[in-house]
Structure 1
Amino acid sequence: MIWRLTALMVACFAVSAEAVTFSRRVSDEQPRNPRQKRDSWAVKSSFTTCKTALSPREQKTLGRNTYETGFHGDDGFTFSLTWVGDGTGVILVLSTVSTPLESFYEGGSTRLYRSEDYGKSFHDISHAINSSFIKKDFGICAGPGNSQQVILTAELPITHTPGGVIFTSVDSGVTFKSVQLPFHPAQPISFHDQNQQCLLVIGTDSGLWLSQDFGNSWSKIHDGVYSFTWGPGNTLFFSYSPENTVEADKRGELFLRRTRDLGQTFTTIAQNVFTFGYIGGFLFTSVMEKQGSPRVIYVSSDQGDYFNKALLPTASSEQFYSLLDGDEDMIFIHVDSPGDNSYFGTIYTSDDRGILYSKSLEHHLFGIERKSDFINVTSLRGVYLTNVLVEDGRISTVISFNKGGEWRPLKKPENVECGRGVERCNLHIHGEHSLHSSIAPMLPLSDPSAVGLIIAHGSVGDSISASKPDVYVSSDGGYNWIGTLRGPHHYSILDSGGLIVAVEAHKDRPVNSIKFSTDEGQCWKTYNFTVQPFFIAGLASEPGTKSMNIGVFGYRPEDDDRPMWVAVTIDFEQLLTRECNEDDYEEWLAHSDDGGASETDGCVLGYKETYRRLRKMSVCRNGRNYVVSKQQTPCPCTREDYMCDYGYYRHENSSECVEEANFSDKKLEICLNGEMEELYTKGYRKIPSDKCQGGFSPLRHMDASNKHCGNSSEGSSSGHHLPRLDQVWLQIVIGVSVGVVVLAVITAVANTVRRMNYRQRSTTYRFSALQLHEDEPCITSISGPSSNRASFQEDSDDDLIE
């Protein structure tokens, strides 16, 4: 498990060649001195937050539990930090040389440091890996979950050696074992989620290599592989070329194969594949049915036994498609509006089979640098945030509390007022576009263990502002907000939401203080954690929010112009010593307006949820054993439990679904798995995963028409023939046809790994996100001083846009 630092946080200075470390306790000593056409402004004088002074006891306690470590050296180092496991307290720091490979082997060295006390002290363990040069791009990989597994990948000249070298550890880096590989890795090694001994990677020879003993031995299970993704259990999907080479103009000639026994047997499940992905139990493929033809989306909910064509509006090859999010019940997909330079489009949501899609949100912002502000709020069920383009090119934030069934603007925080002349005053949240433009240093942050809590950068007005954002907090899942900190900050959630911390984000001046709150951002205390301020790169804590240790990382210019990386660890556990008891918790009904007085109050997706959570005024410690508890109560069905069916859409500010133009009283015929079915609908279909009972129940049913359709050919288990890949289509029986779906690009498909040339890509990762992407266990180093602009290249198909 790692925490990813990014180059966005600071214009990083390079750290040096011969590194020495030192550690000291910090005592009570005090320090010495996107495309946005117009902005909207809030009146800052009304932005108020509660601030209380740090008591002498608190100052002394934190001083005794604050530790600072410096990493010295000459120019040329990059810096990466990895957390190993959850609750282990182990951190690995790797500093690697950025000089040419040949020069390095003439006398350079790599330094590896290890801490087993949450960063209070570090020890040089470079000897454990023979001071080998570790890759900067994906040098450290940590195992998933609570695993104590670590893999280091060494950099070796491909032309000089038959294979690469990795170092493996099963004891959180106490010891490492050197393994000579029969190939050179072309990408990070991928861990199996459940089988800790199982590893997979694509080599520079395009071979797919498997290890079932945690890297000790490897076998090639297939040639010519372009990309792969783990499926459930021992299932694996991968695309490959029969000619064992993958060229850019041959991508539409790939085959998709599946193995359910880790490469013992294979089944070819699709051909003419351009790209594919597996998300939420749905297997997606973009298929070129004829060479040079537009790409079409097919989806399978049974791991590739049968594919059906996704039913979406007609699109041209210039338009952009993106999978935004998904689970076992539903998929969100963005479709660009027509036009080569479109920066917006429409979000569609699927039925529970991932086949039939309905319009959810128009004018969705997506396209500037291929970034999307679409965010899943993980601290409350069914909540999503995103930004839309409104008139005059302005950007506005909307939120959905029922998985895209309805969207509404965010409320204005009560303690912030808008300027004069602002007709519509709402809160607007900064997302990926602002991160990429260096307007905001972090994305919105939430966690399932901190019920209802969201921390985000934003501005108040009639649209989002391009000026420096402030920090806003919601404690009820996005219904209500408060302005809590002025200016941009790095922030983190600790102790399952019982403690939040923040440091100011400045590119032009160093920082020496951290702010912390025990009441979800209503009041803050400030603690000076170092005598000598330094430029902040960001905050880091263990994955999840259970820890009460926070690390502040950055660099400090030295008098001789040699920069020094700095790590300061603060242990808040000694400050909040009292364990929470029953009196510290309260019953809280989510999504409620009147405390549950009415039958439907608090009903979302068919049921109410009452949580047991910490009172804001309780100053105590949840602890590592804290588990979120809740009670669920079913609700009667209303229109809010339904999405608009295919061919219908929901008017703005209305819960009624109305027919789209030229769609009135049409009967739909759908070809599914080779059989024709007739769909009768009044315009509504229940939201997938909705559990409402009784109440509003609009007519909707499908009847078999006893007609065969599509391709009904059966495949053999040997994999020499394709299983049934139905030409699924939808027909409006009064002669109005619905065009086929064209796929320009599929992006943001979770867990898909493909062969890349990492040396030609500047790959960095999010420092913090609303959902931490734990599917990528490897970290990319911070280096500098080239740029302080955000640069994100997640595994997606953005580079395939034509």
Structure 2
Amino acid sequence: MIWRLLVLLGVSVVLLMGVECRIREGKTLTFRRTQHSDSQGRMRRRPRRDASSSPGTSKPSRGPPFTSCRLLLTPAEHEVLDDNTHETGFNGDDGSYVILTWVGDDTGVVLVLSTISGPVHPLNEGGSTRLYRSTDYGKSFRDISQSINHTFIKEEFGVSVGPGISVILTADTPVLNNPGGIIFTSTDAGATFKFIQLPFHLAQPIAYHFSNPDYLVALSIDGGLWLSLDFGAWWTKVHDGVHSFSWGAGINLFFSCSRVDAVEAEERGDLILKRTKDLGKTFTIIHEDIYSFGYIGAFLFFSVMEDPRSPRVMYFSSDQGDTFSQALLPSASTEQFYSILDGDEDMLFLHVDNPGDTFFGTMYTSDDRGILFSKSLERHLFDGHRKSDFTNITSLRGVYLTNKLDVDGRIKSVISFNRGGTWRPLNKPENTNCGDKIKSCNLHIHGEHSRNNHIVPMVTLSEPAAVGLVIAHGSVGDSLSSSQHPDVFVSSDGGYNWRGTLRGPHHYTILDSGGLIVAVEAHREGQVKTIKFSTDEGQCWKLYNFTDQPFFFAGLASEPGTNAMTVSVWGFRPEEDGQPMWVAVTIDFQSLITRECNDNDYEEWLAHSTEGGGSERNGCVLGVKETYRRLKKQSVCRNGRSFVVKKKQSPCLCTREDFLCDFGYYRHVNTSECVRQPSTANKTYELCLNGEEDELLTEGYRKVPSDRCEGGFSPQLIKQTVKACGIKPSPAPPAKSTSSVTHFDTPREKLVLILVCAGAVIIVLIAIVSAVIVVRRVIYRNRTPIYRFANLRLQDDENSTTVDHESGTSSNSTACQQDSDDDLIE
């Protein structure tokens, strides 16, 4: 029912933390106070800049614990942790925030920015910043504010960390009083900073090149595209009227810009997509009339408005824009949107919204060219805040988790173990019960829309180094519920089986490549002093009081990559003068878990396998069996920083499960067989690519991208007949009537005439063939490849929709940053 959806999606049920925590670029966290009070009521609630959230409190823990395994710290263990727990206070004011950033890999360097109100320096109109630096993973900090002249650093730009140990701080400077903005750059992990006056004012954060930290690109507030090849020391404007940009592969740089004669500098739907592959020396127009674009994995994608009154269509390129094609997808009207959910070098997940405020759409998966898309999941949830619950489970290959909206308005979780080929409900956790009244008992996971509505403080967490480990908030029943108390659940096998581990909402993180999990409960009053940790993937927990003075919780901070064994608990504590003090308590668990793991601490684990499964296909996913060497749950030791995931792979025989249904086909209910949609029966697809038209005959299957099966099931995928296309022969001129008739009386005359005519015909044919070749070369040299599927009908189960694809041409945290999913909406 629609009222259920509105209640769930439109109402902020609870606020689980008093501070907003945002993760930036996988290495940076921002903590901002939104509400705080003490017993005397001296602290007041301040309005937030982002007014989309309302403050509240979390519900108290309910129900018995999932397990009675609660281990007490021994006095010796408590003393060890006390000796290796370090507390640091940072100056702040009643409206401050802090930005925490790790610099480099395994450098131990952490930078913390804390704001201070009021002008302190001529550059600081509106505030200043305290800058702190740690070289021991956050155990101690040194104030280095003088290295940036106490200059106020922009909150929304904050700190940018590039490849290696490079850092950029962007100052907040008034536009009227300064010719350009100010940045501070560091090439030694923040030990020293260089002051740079920019010749322009930044419109958004400076973007690093993926691999070369010296290559920077920036967009000014007047639409100028600027490049620096020496880490910001010198800047050159390379283009005007730019709307957005993105680095591609190598040194390819893509950007959208307005037309030279355009009145509006940012006329959406009337932009030009360009590319430079020589750092701004020359430019190539890829396509005109685009609405927005992005780059993810190995794919360049953009939406095009071919007519101001027509819906948008999607184009993709897998070769940096050299060639591109229109994707075989439904077009999107002004009330719909496209959203790239995830992507890599092999395939894309894309959501196409349904018309109207339905809060759902259809998820598609692409082939390795980003052209042929197959329907993966219908009624995929995409809520009113434009939030998707789609999650890549990075701890096991091919696993994805998301939520769908049933016709009755209920939200249910589904999981795929073969990259979106099939989806199924999550199994009920082994230590939970639904009750007799619940007919369908499954686990349902809270995603991004629940976090956005403050139902849970965190979404699903997984790490590639922690093989099979997944931590998530969820509830057990027939659907996801906002009224039911969210608890923490853990899976050790990539999402096949789950168990309840912690009652109530928590903040959690993974350390030591999965050998250690830490969690802090989201208390109702917001103050914390206890941390929970587990060395057996959440089966048993120990509790440690890390401070005698509780403080308002802000978030957990640990070094990216899960190799570290230190974690920092952030928050703020009211002082006697009524002003708060930012607090970071860093706990080093390496002092407690001292034994290095040996071979006896590890086990061989066949991924995607079932217990007792003796079949040849047991463990086969995406055409491969993968056996991992991973830590035993009962082993209490540390993997260490040098830990590397080891696995053995062996190919499997192909079955229908290794194939997706081709375009125009669907998987029959309760079978793995692909059958043709009724509307496309006995029809041949026509394919026009690079000037040649192919007759595409298909058996309805295509291999899942990245699937590496061998032998076995092998459908006849494509049988091509090459024909000319794109050039239609002119109609023959009508025969002219004449009264003059030539007669050939003798055989010799006839023979001579035949030879002469034959020679002329041969010459004419050679000329025609040569002309056709020349014309085709001229036409197809600049011709956009077009995939044209004649009379193809996309079958929608509820209301069939005819989609015309007669014309067209051709996204961790990930690379689509300038044109986000929301930019593909309006």
Q: Name the TM tier (shorter chain).
A: 0.7 to 0.9
1:276 matches 2:340: no
In structure 1, the partner of 2:494 is 477
- Shift of residue 168 of structure 1? 0.7
Where 2:168 maps in the other structure, the secondary structure is strand
Larger radius of gyration: 2
Question: 1:437 maps to what in 2?
Answer: 453
Q: Contact between 1:365 and 1:373, CA under 8 Å: does it hold in 2?
A: yes
Residue 73 to residue 704, structure 1, CA distance change in 2 (3 Å) = same
Query: Does residue 1:403 correspond to 2:462, yes or no?
Result: no
Matched, 1:632 2:649: yes
Checking the alignment, whether the CA contact within 8 Å between 1:9 and 1:505 is kept in structure 2 is: no
Change in CA separation of 1:142 and 1:91 when aligned onto 2, cut-off 3 Å? same
Tell me if the contact between 1:470 and 1:488 (Cα under 8 Å) persists in the aligned partners: yes
The reply to whether residue 64 of structure 1 matches residue 83 of structure 2 is: yes
Aligned pair partner of 1:152 in 140, 162, 169: 169
**What corresponds to 1:424 in structure 2?**
440
Q: Tell me: higher relative CO, structure 1 or 2? Use CA pairs within 8 A at least 6 residues apart.
A: 1
The residue type equivalent to 2:78 in the other structure is Q
Answering whether residue 162 of structure 2 is matched by residue 143 of structure 1, we say yes
Task: Report the counterpart of residue 731 of structure 2 in structure 1.
Answer: none
Q: Distance in 2 between matches of 1:174 and 1:572?
A: 27
Aligned pair in 2 of structure 1 residues 76, 414: CA closer, same or farther (>3 Å)?
closer
- CA distance in 1 between partners of 2:112 and 2:62 (Å): 44
Structure-1 separation of matches of 2:290 and 2:213: 31
Take 2:86 and 2:401, find their aligned partners in 1: how far apart are those partners?
38
Mapped pair 1:354 → 2:405: no
For residues 9-68 of structure 1, what are the alpha-carbon distances to aligned partners after superposition, in whole Å with 9 as ceiling and x for unaligned? 964799xxxxxxxxxxxxxxxxxxx9xxxxxxx994473252111111211111000001
1:732 aligns with 2:732: no
- Residue 623 of structure 2 is matched in structure 1 by 606
What is the CA distance between 1:124 and its match in structure 2? 1.1
Relative distance call for 1:519 and 1:107 in structure 2 (3 A) is closer
**Alpha-carbon distance in 2 for matches of 1:288, 1:799:** 14
AA at the equivalent of 2:614? A
Residue pairs, 1:377-526, within 5 angstroms: 377-466=393-482, 467-526=484-543
CA displacement at 1:648 relative to structure 2? 1.6
| Contact 1:43/1:418 (<8 A) preserved | no
Q: Which whole-Å CA distance do the structure 2 matches of 1:502 and 1:437 have between them?
A: 21
Residue correspondence of structure 1 range 621-770 to structure 2 within 5 A: 621-709=638-726, 723-732=782-791, 739-740=803-804, 750-754=814-818
Q: Secondary structure at the match of 1:583?
A: helix
- 1:762 is matched with none
On the 8 A contact 2:117/2:126 being kept in 1, the answer is: no
Q: In the alignment, residue 71 of structure 2 is paired with which amino acid?
A: T
Relative to structure 1, is the Cα distance of residues 3 and 597 closer, same or farther in structure 2, using a 3 angstrom cutoff? same
Q: CA RMSD in A?
A: 3.1
- 1:174 aligned partner: 191
Tell me what 2:318 maps to.
301
Q: Deviations over 1:493-552 (max 9, x none)?
A: 001001110001135231100000111111110000001011211101111111111011
- SS of equivalent to 1:268: strand
1:269 maps to amino acid: I
Aligned match for 1:75, one of 84, 94, 100: 94
> Does 2:137 match 1:113?
no
Deviates further, 413-422 or 49-58: 49-58
Q: Does residue 1:330 correspond to 2:347, yes or no?
A: yes
Equivalent residue letter for 1:136: E
- Verify the 8 A CA contact 2:241 2:265 in the aligned structure 1: no
Q: 1-side partners of 2:541 and 2:573: how far apart?
A: 26
Check conservation: 2:518, 2:534, Cα contact below 8 A: yes
Distance 1:713 1:208, change over 3 A: farther
The match for 2:47 is none
Report which stretch shifted further, 722-731 or 163-172: 722-731
Aligned equivalent of 2:153: 134
Mark the CA change 1:246 to 1:484 in structure 2 (over 3 Å): closer, same or farther: farther
Residues 599 and 797 of structure 1: CA distance in aligned 2, closer, same or farther (over 3 Å): closer
For 2:545 and 2:806, locate their aligned partners in 1 and report how far apart those are by CA, in whole Å.
56
- Residues in 2 aligned to 1:298 and 1:73: alpha-carbon distance in whole angstroms: 49
Give distance in 2, aligned partners of 1:143 and 1:331: 26
Task: Give the TM-score of the pair, scaled to structure 1.
Answer: 0.85
Structure 1 segment 94-243 matched on structure 2, within 5 A: 94-97=113-116, 105=124, 108-144=127-163, 147-243=164-260
CA, structure 1 residues 187+420, in 2 after alignment: closer, same or farther (shift >3 Å)? same
Deviation string for 1:580-599 (max 9, x for gaps)?
11111111000001466321
1:584 aligns to 2:643 (yes or no): no
1:673 is displaced (CA, Å) by 3.2
Which residue does 2:820 correspond to in 1? 796
Residue 652 of structure 1: how far off its partner (Å): 4.7
AA paired with 2:721?
Answer: A
AA of the residue aligned to 2:108: G
Distance across 1 between alignment mates of 2:691 and 2:551: 65
Distance in 2 between residues matched to 1:380 and 1:584, nearest whole Å: 21
TM-score normalised over the length of structure 2: 0.83
Compared with structure 1, are the counterparts of its residues 394 and 385 closer, same or farther at alpha carbon in structure 2 (3 Å cutoff)? same
Aligned partner of residue 662 in structure 1, secondary structure: helix
Cα distance in 1, alignment partners of residues 224 and 101 from structure 2:
28
Percent identical: 61
Once residues 5 and 183 of structure 1 are traced to their aligned partners in structure 2, the CA distance between those partners, rounded to angstroms, is: 27
Report if the CA contact (8 A) 1:308-1:355 is conserved.
yes
Q: Which amino acid aligns with 1:195?
A: N
Cα gap change, 1:316 to 1:153, in 2 (>3 Å): closer
- The answer to whether structure 1 residue 568 and structure 2 residue 585 are counterparts is yes
Distance of 1:167 and 1:244 partners within structure 2: 37
Q: Which amino acid aligns with 2:408?
A: D
Q: Which residue of 1 aligns with 2:104?
A: 85
Distance 2:104 2:548 in 1: 31
How far apart are residue 722 of structure 1 and its match? 10
Query: How far apart are residue 83 of structure 1 and its match?
Result: 1.1
Evaluate the alpha carbon distance shift between residue 323 and residue 709 of structure 1 in structure 2; reply closer, same or farther with a 3 A threshold. farther
Structure 2 spans left out of the alignment, 5+ residues: 1-24, 39-52, 54-60, 729-771, 796-800
User: Deviation at 1:154?
Assistant: 1.0
In the alignment, the residues of structure 2 paired with residue 223 and residue 275 of structure 1 have an alpha-carbon distance, to the nearest angstrom, of 17
Task: Tell me, yes or no, if the aligned pair for 2:593 and 2:638 is still in contact at 8 Å.
Answer: yes
Distance 1:461 1:354 in 2: 37
Is the Cα contact below 8 Å between 2:312 and 2:332 reproduced in 1?
no
Which sits farther off after the overlay, 440-449 or 671-680? Answer: 671-680
Matches within 5 A, 1:2-81: 3-5=27-29, 11=35, 44-45=63-64, 47-48=66-67, 50-81=69-100
CA distance, structure 1, for counterparts of residue 213 and residue 37 of structure 2: 37
Q: Are 1:673 and 1:728, in contact at CA under 8 Å, matched by a contact in 2?
A: no
CA distance in 2, matches of 1:49, 1:357: 49
Cα deviation, residue 799, structure 1: 5.6
In 1, the alpha carbon distance for the partners of 2:263 and 2:523 equals 45
Distance 2:64 2:364 in 1: 41
Query: Are the structure 2 counterparts of residues 430 and 125 from structure 1 closer, same or farther at C-alpha, using a change threshold of 3 Å?
Result: same
CA contact (8 A) 2:96 2:114 kept: yes
- Cα shift at 1:73: 4.0
Distance (whole Å) between structure 1 residues aligned to residue 498 and residue 625 of structure 2:
22
SS at match of 1:5: strand
Q: Give the letter for the 1:72 counterpart.
A: N
Instruction: Determine whether 1:532 maps to 2:562.
Output: no
CA distance, structure 1, for counterparts of residue 774 and residue 283 of structure 2: 16
Q: Is the 8 A contact 2:119 2:127 kept in 1?
A: no
Gaps of 5+ in 1: 15-33, 35-41, 716-720, 755-794
Runs of 4 or more above 6 Å deviation:
7-10, 99-104, 710-715, 733-737, 746-749
